[in-house]
Homo-oligomer: A and B are copies of this chain.
């Protein structure tokens, strides 16, 4: 176990085109002492509709297993009509991560757009009920709260079709500077690259984070997102991102290779830390000079992998925000992911803080 934090203390961002907007990057200790939140996350606020499905269902509806596809309202209605009975639960990648951080005992804030409707109320309730700060004003008189139709096959894999709805209206004005500037790590989901307005919010958050010396974390979200926005994502990673999350398919898509080792080698040095997840093969956290492989946490049965990556990010970032060595961050990620794949739904059903304590992984 090598502690990366010591290195990060001395980390100074490279100057960019607008150096005057940047303050000196703070030391880790400075960041931690000055942060109201461990994590502030920005994402597409989405309610999940989760139902079991057979392989034939995916084939019939031309869905690629394990992926996320954007659909419009008409397609969402048609697909929903064909789905099995399900449960509804607050989701959204970064929202799930915030729930995980809160479950670990962390202080988290969320920025995302729901509508002024029943599912929007559910989303806001769940966010506040876990103790997360969520003050984004709901959209009135526009699209409905976004929803993600999640079809879970018997192997536990989830295939997602998302109608973004109100989430696309997340605007730069929704990015509250106090939230961004008050967080040790600012976490952005790659899905935000899809809606143009949200992308502006994304850019504003990154700018504020950089200017206030906060750490910027990014999740690649989905290999199709990477295909759609490869150039923009690469540029953003190289210029702004301190901590990158990607699964095997995503990192391979980013570097247009089918060889994980090649992709992992390619990402090293492009950002401070890359945390790469490999399902049952665990994860590897790499920096320019180090690599820490951590095995997956064993589970009795994989029921539904929805939220696995989100919870991994929650565990990893909570560890990092609290000064744990990188390998422990990865272990916290694995622990959180294992909990969420052992039941339906993308958020923890038990207090992750208790699981972490049992493993002596509780950060200070």
Is A81 positioned at the interface, with any CB of B under 8 Å from its CB?
yes
Which interface residue of A49, A81, A87, A119 has the most chain B CB atoms within 10 A?
A: A87
**Taking the nearest CB of chain B, how far is it from the CB of A115, in angstroms?**
10
What CA separation (Å) do A80 and B130 show in the bound complex?
A: 13
Is A331 positioned at the interface, with any CB of B under 8 Å from its CB?
no
Flag if A87 contacts B84 (CB, 8 Å).
no
Binding site secondary structure of chain A: mixed
Flag if A125 contacts B88 (CB, 8 Å).
no
User: CB-CB < 8 A to A86: which residues of B?
Assistant: 89, 126
Is A5 positioned at the interface, with any CB of B under 8 Å from its CB?
no
User: CB-CB < 8 A to A275: which residues of B?
Assistant: none
Is A302 positioned at the interface, with any CB of B under 8 Å from its CB?
no
Q: Could you list which residues of chain A lie within 8 angstroms of chain B, going by C-beta atoms? A: 49, 51-52, 80-81, 83-90, 99, 117-119, 122, 125-130, 144-145, 344-345, 347, 349
User: CB-CB < 8 A to A84: which residues of B?
Assistant: 129-130
User: CB-CB < 8 A to A347: which residues of B?
Assistant: 85
Flag if A125 contacts B87 (CB, 8 Å).
no
Our pick among B89, B119, B130 for the contact of A118 (Cβ within 8 Å) is B119
What CA separation (Å) do A85 and B99 show in the bound complex?
A: 9
- Closest chain B residue to A50, Cβ basis: B87
- Closest chain B residue to A99, Cβ basis: B85
What CA separation (Å) do A88 and B118 show in the bound complex?
A: 11
New A-B contacts (7) at CB < 8 Å, excluding given A83-B129, A88-B88:
A80-B125, A83-B125, A84-B130, A88-B122, A117-B117, A118-B119, A118-B145
User: CB-CB < 8 A to A81: which residues of B?
Assistant: 125, 128
Flag if A144 contacts B118 (CB, 8 Å).
yes
The 6 closest A-B pairs by CB, nearest first: A85-B126, A88-B88, A118-B118, A85-B129, A87-B89, A87-B87
User: CB-CB < 8 A to A89: which residues of B?
Assistant: 86-88
Which interface residue of A52, A84, A85, A90 has the most chain B CB atoms within 10 A?
A: A85
Our pick among B85, B119, B126 for the contact of A90 (Cβ within 8 Å) is B85
User: CB-CB < 8 A to A144: which residues of B?
Assistant: 118
Q: List 10 A-B contacts (CB under 8 A).
A: A86-B89, A86-B126, A87-B87, A87-B89, A87-B345, A88-B88, A88-B89, A117-B117, A118-B119, A344-B349
What CA separation (Å) do A119 and B119 show in the bound complex?
A: 8
- Closest chain B residue to A47, Cβ basis: B88
User: CB-CB < 8 A to A129: which residues of B?
Assistant: 51, 83-85
**Taking the nearest CB of chain B, how far is it from the CB of A13, in angstroms?**
36
- Closest chain B residue to A347, Cβ basis: B85
What CA separation (Å) do A215 and B20 show in the bound complex?
A: 81
What CA separation (Å) do A187 and B117 show in the bound complex?
A: 33
- Closest chain B residue to A85, Cβ basis: B126
- Closest chain B residue to A122, Cβ basis: B88
What CA separation (Å) do A128 and B81 show in the bound complex?
A: 9
What CA separation (Å) do A86 and B88 show in the bound complex?
A: 9
**Taking the nearest CB of chain B, how far is it from the CB of A204, in angstroms?**
28
Flag if A130 contacts B85 (CB, 8 Å).
yes
**Taking the nearest CB of chain B, how far is it from the CB of A101, in angstroms?**
14
